[in-house]
Amino acid sequence: MLGEAVAAIFQNCAKVHASDVNLNESWLDRLDVSSSTHVHKYLNAIEPDCIIHLAALTDMEFCEEHPGEAYATNTGGVENVARYAGNRDIPLVYISTAGIFDGKKGSYDEADAPNPMSVYAASKYAGELLAKTVPKAIVIRAGWMMGGGPGKDKKFINKVVRQLRSGSREILVVNDKFGSPCYTNDLARCIKFLVEREAYGIYHGACDGFGSRADVARHLLACLDVSGVNVREVDSDVFSETYFAPRPPSECLTNTKLKRLAPQLTRDWRDCLCEYAHNYCWIGRC
């Protein structure tokens, strides 16, 4: 989801080597970041001037049931690229997550102390700590990701759209989880801005503003001009069997440091969601 936006924004100013463990595009190289041998061989071959590390296992339930694989990718993968970046004194960009917080506060800025609740969050935070050992590290904590369109969006937006496509006239959405949506196109611009200015450190890079899952679903319907569909608010316990990994009640991020540097880089999540909705053909009306 994010890789496509990052590759697009850098391709006019750099030679981009894009990789993934699953080759869903012809322009991707295969790379398993959990393999130190594979990472060492790949990076030595391309000799990058900067590494933007986006690879992660993000399925929280899979991570909860397969902690070894979660840590191998989300932590070990960072260790592998961080070693290379540190040894060669090049910048490393690492994308962390709002999920590293326990959600007991209403919102979090960069100075708040992480307290991950799930295997996914703990493995990502461990990766964050490793990334910060690189002298030229940029760590950006992202919110509820949206991007990539119908073919690549694995998150909440496309899950709602798939229900609309199936003809659902009522959608059950939780109202007790709050967060900051994060638009991949805007996050890619933030990455480019920080890399170009050598602005190393920890940042939050979500959209501006907060909302519940129900708020996001209703705004998506409005952006898509969908009528006659009821968004029924429910407690997250309704989905506890499917989504059993612990999730914080609040994943709301405040972009305090980024706003000081470039207030224009992040926009209200409602504006970003409507832009995203209008950029793709979601339900047959384009």
Render pLDDT for 251-264 as a digit per residue (tens, 0 to 9).
999 999 999 999 99
Backbone angles phi, psi at 92, to 5 degrees: -125, 125
What is the average pLDDT score of the chain?
97
**In sequence order, what are the residues at sequence separation of 6 or more whose Cβ sits closer than 8 angstroms to the Cβ of residue 195?**
50, 52, 91, 93, 138
Q: Is the pLDDT of residue 192 over 80?
A: yes
Region 253-277: mean pLDDT is 97
Q: What percent of the chain has pLDDT over 70?
A: 99
> Which pLDDT tens digit goes with each residue over 232-250?
999 999 999 999 999 999 9
- Structural domains of the chain in order of their starting residue, each with its CATH number: 2-155+180-211+253-267 (3.40.50.720)
Which residues, other chains included, contact 217 with Cβ-Cβ below 8 Å and sequence gap of 6+? 156, 160, 171, 173, 231
Per residue in 74-91, pLDDT (tens digit) is 999 999 999 999 999 999
pLDDT digits (tens, 9 = 90+) for 83-133: 999 999 999 999 999 999 999 999 999 999 999 999 999 999 999 999 999
What's the pLDDT score for residue 283? Answer: 84
Full-model pTM: 0.96
Determine the Cα–Cα distance for residues 209 and 215; give it in Å rounded to an integer. Answer: 12
